[in-house]
Amino acid sequence: MSRSSQGSKAPSQRMLRVGELVRHALADVLQRGEVMDPVLEKHVITVPEVRMTPDLKLATAYVMPLGGKDVAKVLKALEANRKQIRMLVVQRLALKSAPDIRFREDESFAEGARIDALLRSPEVSRDLDADGGSEGDDR
């Protein structure tokens, strides 16, 4: 299930703002290597997005190790160190309550690659050639 189809209601400004604060704090914790875990120390982990629940008690962090390697190992290590990561993130934020953090694989890179491959497929190229390419030639 993609992230965009999880709910029809758009997130509030507050949810977006807190999600971005948590994302920055989480990225900072992971970049500085503050979590002593052999798997996490070997990987550079990107945090493209953090989504908050409306009550701001749960943060879903979408993460991806650089190069997309060892995703399962990294997610397992993040889950194993979730309490420590939560404590380190909360120390950087001024929130009334500390959100629980869950980690998910960021699939946006794979989805982008899939769409790119579809656009480059022979069927799409054939359809574009059938149109005569007149739209792009008028420049």
Residues 48-78 have pLDDT tens digits of: 999 999 999 999 999 999 887 889 999 999 9
Residues 84-135 have pLDDT tens digits of: 999 999 999 988 888 999 999 988 877 888 888 888 888 877 777 776 555 5
Question: CA torsion angle for 112, 117, 123, 126 (degrees, to 10)?
Answer: 90
Amino acid at 22: V
CA–CA separation, 69 and 38 (whole Å): 15
Domain ranges of the chain: 8-106
Q: Is the pTM of this model over 0.85?
A: no
Q: How many helices (H) and strands (E) does the chain have?
A: 7, 3
CATH of 8-106, one of 3.30.300.20, 3.30.1780.10, 3.40.50.720, 2.40.50.100: 3.30.300.20
pLDDT in the model for residue 116: 83
Report the candidate in 29, 28, 66 with the shortest Cα–Cα distance to residue 46: 66
